[in-house]
Amino acid sequence: MSKKLYHILVIEDNLEHLTIFCDSLSFQSDIFLPLRGESVNEAKEIIAANIFTFDAILLDISLTNEEEILKLADMAGSNDNVPVIVLTGYANYSFQRKAPSFGISVYFLKNCLTPKLLQKSIVYAVERNRIKLTLDELEKQYTALFPINGQPVLVTDISTVDVSGLNNSPIANHSTQLYK
């Protein structure tokens, strides 16, 4: 049985930290293939070159100013199909709570990180993302079928009994036939 290989884009400008991250990824494992980008801009160029399909992005940021946070949000927002995992040395708890709204899958403080925790988190983030993408696709397929269904369909919220969807075409056809 072949192993799943995870292509990881590591955005890190400090060579020492990069070595630590790569060592963590290779610790008792050979399923992670890291590629380095020194900055968010360089990472965007690597992604745009479309040489690899990345499974996850590891992003080391300082979070010391608003510009870093905006770069982070931009990086996560431009890569909806790839989970972004943030590594930082700053315990900015208010930002940590906001991280999911920026599209961040996982947020770690570097001093709390172990090799196994990093590896496990990458695999979980990739799998969560894969499931999300599958559900999004299924929702698109369902939404496309809903209006063309020949039978009247009424979709309600179970908890509030509010109507959240109704395919009007069969009802319109039925009511005109009924009153002719």
pLDDT digits (tens, 9 = 90+) for 83-137: 888 888 877 777 778 778 777 888 888 888 888 998 999 999 999 989 988 998 9
DSSP string, the chain: -PPPPEEEEEE-S-HHHHHHHHHHHHTT---EEEEEESSHHHHHHHHHHTSS--SEEEEEE---SHHHHHHHHHHHHT-TTS-EEEEESS--HHHHHHGGGGTEEEEEEGGG--HHHHHHHHHHHHHHHHHHHHHHHHHHHHHHHTTT-SS--EEE-TTT--EEEE-HHHHHHHHHHHT-
Q: Evaluate whether 109 touches 96 at the Cβ level (below 8 Å).
A: no
Q: Which domains does the chain have, with CATH numbers?
A: 6-141 (3.40.50.2300), 149-178 (no CATH)
Q: Evaluate whether 39 touches 29 at the Cβ level (below 8 Å).
A: no
- How many C-beta neighbours within 10 Å does residue 96 have? 17
Q: Evaluate whether 97 touches 144 at the Cβ level (below 8 Å).
A: no
Amino acid identity, residue 49? Answer: A
Residue 45 has pLDDT above 90, yes or no: no
Residue 179's pLDDT band, with cuts at 50, 70 and 90, is: very low
What predicted TM-score, i.e. pTM, was given to this entire model?
0.72
User: What mean pLDDT do residues 150-172 have?
Assistant: 72
User: What is the token pair recorded at 24?
Assistant: 């963590």
Residue 147's pLDDT band, with cuts at 50, 70 and 90, is: low
